[in-house]
């Protein structure tokens, strides 16, 4: 039987969803308007966690998102994959804008939080940006706001 959990949207967000299928044993552990956490058990493999994540869209409230991320990261010894829209970037080249540059302190705080929580960035290949404001230059902004993070194990 297919499995699904949908979390309603708040404000400008479009909500979160976690979908599974009959080949996976998926148990939802917790959820909020900013995350869905589940354990995945596959035949012949060790269990692991997946966390769909949405970082707060207001920079002033991202500390709440980072606290939640660290809490979830430290709440289990299972290997964990965090995927989602973190609403933040690690480096200046992940956010390109002539009119709205990303503050360095903001990127530094995100990188420091990831390190402090014992998680790492998951490499990717392909187009470097996952979001665009659809304006034309010089007012366009492109950023890599979606990413994968994982526990170190």
Residue 10 tokens, joined: 């708040």
The band of 87, judged by pLDDT with boundaries at 50, 70 and 90, is confident
* Tokens (6 digits) for 143: 């950023």
Q: Which residue has the higher pLDDT, 69 or 6?
A: 69
Is residue 26 helix, strand or coil? Answer: strand
- Measured between alpha carbons, how far is residue 77 from residues 20, 49, 122 in Å? 22, 10, 19
Cα 65 from Cα 82, distance rounded (Å): 13
Name all domains of the chain by residue range, CATH numbers in brackets. Answer: 3-151 (3.60.10.10)
| Element spanning 113, H or E | helix 104-116
**Residue 69 backbone zone (phi > 0: left; psi -120 to 50: alpha; other: beta):** alpha
User: Is 5's pLDDT higher than 80?
Assistant: no
Instruction: Report d(CA 13, CA 18) in Å as an integer.
Output: 16
pLDDT tens for each residue of 90-138? 888 777 777 777 888 888 999 999 999 999 989 877 777 777 777 677 7
Please give the residue that has the higher pLDDT: either 18 or 122.
122
| Structure tokens belonging to residue 118 | 């014992």
pLDDT exceeds 50 at position 1: no
CA angle 130, 133, 135 (to 5 degrees): 130
Question: What's the Cα-to-Cα distance from 10 to each of 1, 13, 31, 32, 146, rounded to whole Å?
Answer: 29, 6, 14, 11, 19
As a whole-number percent, the residues of the chain with pLDDT over 70 amount to 93
Backbone phi, psi, residue 85, to 5°: -105, 95
Beta strands 141-143 and 131-132: pairing type? Answer: antiparallel
57 prior amide bond cis, ω within 30: no
Going by pLDDT thresholds of 50, 70 and 90, the confidence category of residue 12 is: low
């Amino acid at each position: 039987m297919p499995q699904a959990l949908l979390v309603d949207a708040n404000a400008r967000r479009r909500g979160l969803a976690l979908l599974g299928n009959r080949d996976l044993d998926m148990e939802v552990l917790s959820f909020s308007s900013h995350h869905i956490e589940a354990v995945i058990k596959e035949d012949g493999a060790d269990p692991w966690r997946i966390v769909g994540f949405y970082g707060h869209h207001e920079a002033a409230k991202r500390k709440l998102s980072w606290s939640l991320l660290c809490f979830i990261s430290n709440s289990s010894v299972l290997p964990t994959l965090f995927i989602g829209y973190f609403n933040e970037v690690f480096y200046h080249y992940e956010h390109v804008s002539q009119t709205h540059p990303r503050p360095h302190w903001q990127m530094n705080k995100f990188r420091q939080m990831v390190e402090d929580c014992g998680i790492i960035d998951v490499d990717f290949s392909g187009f470097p940006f996952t979001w665009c404001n659809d304006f034309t230059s010089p007012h366009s902004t492109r950023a890599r706001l979606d990413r994968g993070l994982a526990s170190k194990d």
